[in-house]
Amino acid sequence: MNLSQLYYFRTLARLQHYTKAAAELFIAQSTLSNAMANLERELGVPLFARKGRTVELTKYGREFEAAVIESLNALDKGVERAREQAELLTGTIDIGTVYTVQDSYLPALMRAYRASYGDGLTVNLFQGLTLPLLEDLERDRYELAFAAYVENRPGLTFVPVLSQSLVALLHRNHPLASRESLSLAELASHDCPIITYRPETPIGTEVARHLDAAGLKAAAHADDEISLGALVDSENDSVGLVLNTLGLAPFINLVAVPLSDVPKDFHPICLVYKERAFKTRAVETFIEFTTEFKWDPSAEDTEDFEEEDS
């Protein structure tokens, strides 16, 4: 068994087609066929079963594929580390991110990262909502994402890096707008129309649990802070239950009142990455740095990024 056979196997297992795999590997189909036949003979088990013009992995092939992918990823990583050992970390990282961390957290993180590792790394940001971001991360559109925690996403690692508070958003003419704090129980007793996030979103699910516990029901829903703020601004008697983020900044007629019975770290934002995906040295270093980074929320400076909306 040699490395070429393992790389050939990995490609054929992914494409499940000899002609396509041989073309991608820039070898003759006969070379690929002979390599796989020798590998199966050496292992003593069939790895592929023919299915018309294509092939599919056998039970033994699927088990072998998992070991091969893990081994080759580790090897590729070691080769890259050896090449980069005496160099600045360079390259490009594509990161999907919810927009609410781009005002101060990400600029502060990038300044600190560049202070430690230099300016060789290019970071491209792609903005979106949590669920689409995670779907694109799973499809390998990004190496990393900053998004809310979502349950039942096998293969993804979520590392909390900051949290956002939930507040009551009211028009300044609302009778409760002058309060220093409010509770959900008080909102229930005032019978105010509640506007909050759609329950099918991660943040909406979190809020819905608290509404149920307080005996409250939402009268209207929105996807984000800007849309939610606009609804509250147009309905002076309503109360928005919303994250206190930069999305509220445009609404000069609205006030955000803290909620006394909701934890301040209500909504964690996580650094998310695929557990088994190959990671360049730059990506691994970025993960390690971000995990240990301590953010000072009082920093308000901005940073320029190459950004693309998703």
Tally of structural domains, the chain: 3
CATH number, residue 22: 1.10.10.10
Q: Are residues 141 and 282 located together in one domain of the fold?
A: yes
Condensed to tens digits (0 to 9), the pLDDT of residues 23-33 reads: 999 999 999 99
Q: Are residues 150 and 204 located together in one domain of the fold?
A: no
Q: Are residues 177 and 36 located together in one domain of the fold?
A: no
User: What is the C-alpha separation between 195 and 241, in angstroms, rounded?
Assistant: 6
Q: Are residues 245 and 288 located together in one domain of the fold?
A: no
pLDDT of residue 256: 94
- The answer to whether residues 49 and 56 touch, using CB atoms and an 8 Å cutoff, is yes
- The answer to whether residues 195 and 238 touch, using CB atoms and an 8 Å cutoff, is yes
Three-state SS letters, 244-288: CCHHHCCCCCEEEEEECCCCCCCEEEEEEEECCCCCCHHHHHHHH
Token couple for 234:
């147009």
Q: Are residues 144 and 272 located together in one domain of the fold?
A: yes
Q: Are residues 109 and 150 located together in one domain of the fold?
A: yes
Instruction: Estimate to the nearest angstrom the gap between the alpha carbon of 182 and the chain centroid.
Output: 32
Condensed to tens digits (0 to 9), the pLDDT of residues 289-307 reads: 999 998 766 655 444 444 4
Q: Are residues 291 and 254 located together in one domain of the fold?
A: no
Determine the residue type at 137: L
- Last residue within a domain, chosen from 33, 57, 84: 84
CATH number, residue 126: 3.40.190.10
Q: Are residues 274 and 232 located together in one domain of the fold?
A: no
Q: Are residues 151 and 272 located together in one domain of the fold?
A: yes
Condensed to tens digits (0 to 9), the pLDDT of residues 109-153 reads: 998 988 888 887 888 999 988 999 999 999 989 999 999 999 889
Q: Are residues 152 and 275 located together in one domain of the fold?
A: yes
User: What is the C-alpha separation between 150 and 84, in angstroms, rounded?
Assistant: 35
Token couple for 266:
């209500």
User: What is the C-alpha separation between 167 and 178, in angstroms, rounded?
Assistant: 14
pLDDT of residue 297: 67
Q: Are residues 72 and 214 located together in one domain of the fold?
A: no
The stretches in the chain having pLDDT less than 70 are 81-90, 296-310
- Last residue within a domain, chosen from 69, 84, 99: 84
Long-range contacts, stretch 118-122, CB < 8 angstroms, 24+ apart:
118/88, 118/89, 120/88, 120/89, 120/90, 120/91, 121/89, 121/90, 121/91, 121/92, 121/93, 121/282, 121/286, 122/91, 122/92, 122/93, 122/306
Residue 95 sits in which domain range? Answer: 91-162+267-309
- Last residue within a domain, chosen from 37, 57, 84: 84
User: What is the C-alpha separation between 71 and 287, in angstroms, rounded?
Assistant: 21
Q: Are residues 275 and 242 located together in one domain of the fold?
A: no
